[in-house]
Structure 1
Amino acid sequence: MITDNAYYWKITDLKRQAVIVRSEIVKFTNQFFFDRDFIFVEPPVLHESITNKKAEIYVPLYNSKYSLSSSNALFMGLYASEFRKVFTISKCFRDESDTLNHLVEFDILEVEVLNCTLDDILQIIKSYLEFVLSRLLESSYIKEYSEVMERLEMIQNHFAPQIITYDDFISNISDGDFDKDLDISDIDYLLSKQLNDVVIIVDYPTKFATWTAKKIGNGKSIAMNILLPESYGELCEGCERTNDIDLLQSKIRIANADKIQWYVDSVKQIKTDRCGFGLGIDRLVRWIIGADNISDTRFFPRVKVGG
């Protein structure tokens, strides 16, 4: 745990590299999506608090009316109902124990698109990552760091994401001690130690998929997860969203979350397939610079005290 007065003495060359890489990623991210006619939107940092929501951080103001945003998926759904293709890079906050791959405060790229299937959104993600990697290699700022350039070249040369179903991925795990009924997201960085390449896992069990994901039967949903190799863990989660108003209404009623009725009202206006995903910028930076710990991607890492 770093005390506030010790941050300056904890600045390393690796963290300096992270700042430059992050800055360039943000620049190239905006270029990628603006060139494809996406609208940039700004979801609020404060959102309506939902009792007992996983990893929620509540604000002790206004009778705890608000919590810090842990995901912008619902806001992005509303924005997409108005503007069709939207993206944002924003702050999110989750009350998670500090590990190799978790920060309490982190940056996330979130994208929501109408008239879009899961295959379409996977192509967008792959094209985005290829674009960012190639632009980073051309960056005059990055060229000042030979070790980052070498790693980028290695990543780009081996970047060939493989798509595999959840069931096939689980059956191929070599560690016999792994509980195969656990959500991959809970132990992502442990599983990724066994990977040599980027893996896109599809056909997620509904019980592990987000409640906004479209079901396809047999306990599966049209949801995906992208794992990086070498213990870098989960980079991205996404799904094809459900437009089933009765299902969404039921979920809200069960969770006693009438404060987000506005989301269902916005979905009622959508008459086409739609998809969304969230991609961790800090995790992308960590992978690119080869940091052992995600805290090395920030000058001021925020981690759970006592985690």
Structure 2
Amino acid sequence: MANSKKELTGWIVTCTENSMLLKTFAGEVRLQLQSSKGITQNQVKLNSFVKVIVLQKENIFEIEKIEVISESRDEFPLEPDIDYSKNLKVRHLWMRNEKMRALIMIRNQVLKYVSEFLDSNGFIQVQTPVITGTECVCSGSVFGMEYYGRTGVLNQSPWMYVDCIVNSGVEKVYAVMPSFRREEKQTAYHLSELWHIQCDQALITNEEAMQLEEKMICYVISHLLEKMESELNILGSNINALRQIAAPFERVDYDSAIKILKNSQIEIEWGKDLDKEEQTILSTKIGKPFFLYNPPFKTTNFFFRRDENRPEIAFTHDLYMPGVGEVIGGGERISDIDQLKKNMLEFGSMFDEYEWYLEGKKYGAIPHSGFNIGFDRLIMWIIGADDIREAVLFPRIPDCDIKP
């Protein structure tokens, strides 16, 4: 291989008598200093942004010339051997760490692969409102706001608008949108500002929705392993576990889940919404991604279809991932307006608050199913994080400062 000259730009991370570590746009690279060229460690200041001309000799890069583009004005305050992933006060500086660069790349590619999968299966991407007039019956309270003299809220989920678009005759729809939930306490799994991918398709069942989801997850993981293994390793992903992901995922109905928990000495009665501890026990027992389906209707939402033979259960599901819990939730939407109103009364929902949604169901509503991907939790599972703050660039959580 012939020697060649290259131009590199980046920050000086470390510098010794013989070498310099440069953080470039493509990653970190080790460069050799040449005192014979008059280039010494005393000439450079750590964290300065520089342009260097290097002579490449196989895998060795020798500095021929160095130009300071932007000199660092002070010593960088973060210690190189400390992990600041959970310290949000310095997140703007921690962004320079190789973990954050890897996270940026992984989030970009996961969204790309999800979109590729949905696009190739005929889905149309839409944009839905962030400001709306009422809560959409999701977890967490709403953030209220004043909207030109009226009361408004920041949307908790795009589902109601995607539902409306499918009901207008667009067969397959998805939206990638931020959502806002006024969580009461800080946990390792919840955010106040989160990203959702809402997908709805006409004329499919709860089971068919689960099949679509597991195919999508397998598509995303296979492409990440092929293209992004270096970034996954930097973030601490369990590569071997990801290689084992394959469809079909195990299905566990709610009745069976209660039996598993009781056999694990957990005191639980049929009808209870599973808490985090119970979800963790189930995930540990099963040890791989699984769908929990057909739960009690009262633990779901008014817009889901009930089993006509067992009206106490709903045709819904949640996809659970080891170490994280619920990542996707969905099910069959109810298209019968009379049953929809009965469901709303059971949940204590007021008809006038959902007037436009109900009106859309009066004129030949289209049966369909939908699911909502918690994008940040999906990332959390992929990278093997134990706290959702490690999976988001600038997390918004209860009782935290909103800067940066």
Q: Give the TM-score, by structure 1 length.
A: 0.88
2:51 corresponds in structure 1 to none
Deviates further, 116-125 or 193-202 = 193-202
Q: Does 1:109 align with 2:197?
A: yes
Deviations 1:11-68 (A, max 9, x none): 4544333221110011111111111111111111111124997523233313562111
Q: Does 1:66 align with 2:152?
A: yes
1:225 to 318, 343, 354: 318
Q: 1:271 to 1:68 in 2, by over 3 A?
A: closer
Contact 2:99 2:235 (C-alpha < 8 Å) held by counterparts: no
Tell me, in whole angstroms, the C-alpha distance in 1 between the residues paired with 2:275 and 2:246.
Answer: 22
SS at match of 1:219: coil
Q: 1:110 to 1:275 in 2, by over 3 A?
A: same
Tell me, in whole angstroms, the C-alpha distance in 2 between the residues paired with 1:86 and 1:179.
Answer: 38
1:184 corresponds in structure 2 to 274
1:242 to 328, 334, 342: 334
Tell me, in whole angstroms, the C-alpha distance in 2 between the residues paired with 1:186 and 1:211.
Answer: 23
1:32 corresponds in structure 2 to 117
Shift of 1:256: 2.1
2:209 corresponds in structure 1 to 121
Structure with higher Rg: it is 2
Shift of 1:100: 1.5
Tell me, in whole angstroms, the C-alpha distance in 1 between the residues paired with 2:196 and 2:287.
Answer: 25
Q: 1:138 to 1:274 in 2, by over 3 A?
A: same
Shift of 1:109: 1.1
Identity of aligned residues (%): 22
Contact 1:112 1:275 (C-alpha < 8 Å) held by counterparts: yes
State how 1:172-211 maps to structure 2 within 5 Å: 172-173=260-261, 175-177=264-266, 179-180=268-269, 181-184=271-274, 190-191=280-281, 192-211=283-302
Shift of 1:149: 8.9
Code of the aligned partner of 1:35: S
Contact 1:189 1:232 (C-alpha < 8 Å) held by counterparts: no
Task: Mark the runs of 5 or more structure 2 residues left unpaired by the alignment.
Answer: 1-85
Shift of 1:186: 5.5
Code of the aligned partner of 1:265: E
Q: 1:188 to 1:25 in 2, by over 3 A?
A: farther
Tell me, in whole angstroms, the C-alpha distance in 2 between the residues paired with 1:105 and 1:39.
Answer: 24
Shift of 1:218: 4.5
Q: 1:176 to 1:145 in 2, by over 3 A?
A: closer
Find runs of 4+ consecutive structure 1 residues off by over 6 angstroms. Answer: none
Tell me, in whole angstroms, the C-alpha distance in 1 between the residues paired with 2:299 and 2:205.
Answer: 20
Tell me, in whole angstroms, the C-alpha distance in 1 between the residues paired with 2:246 and 2:181.
Answer: 30
Contact 1:252 1:261 (C-alpha < 8 Å) held by counterparts: no
State how 1:21-170 maps to structure 2 within 5 Å: 21-50=106-135, 55-62=140-147, 63=149, 65-82=151-168, 83-96=170-183, 97-139=185-227, 141-147=228-234, 151-160=238-247, 161-170=249-258
Q: 1:236 to 1:150 in 2, by over 3 A?
A: closer
2:58 corresponds in structure 1 to none
Contact 1:204 1:220 (C-alpha < 8 Å) held by counterparts: yes
Query: Higher helix fraction: Structure 1 or Structure 2?
Result: 1
Query: Larger relative CO (CA 8 A, sep 6+): 1 or 2?
Result: 1
Query: Higher strand fraction: Structure 1 or Structure 2?
Result: 2
Code of the aligned partner of 1:202: Y
SS at match of 1:163: strand
SS at match of 2:122: coil
SS at match of 2:153: strand
SS at match of 1:29: helix
1:305 corresponds in structure 2 to 399
Contact 1:241 1:275 (C-alpha < 8 Å) held by counterparts: yes
Code of the aligned partner of 1:61: E
2:376 to 270, 277, 282: 282
Tell me, in whole angstroms, the C-alpha distance in 1 between the residues paired with 2:286 and 2:158.
Answer: 29
Deviates further, 50-59 or 196-205 = 50-59
Shift of 1:167: 1.1
Deviations 1:46-94 (A, max 9, x none): 1112499752323331356211111222111101112121001110111
Contact 1:49 1:67 (C-alpha < 8 Å) held by counterparts: yes
Shift of 1:290: 0.7
2:306 to 201, 215, 230: 215
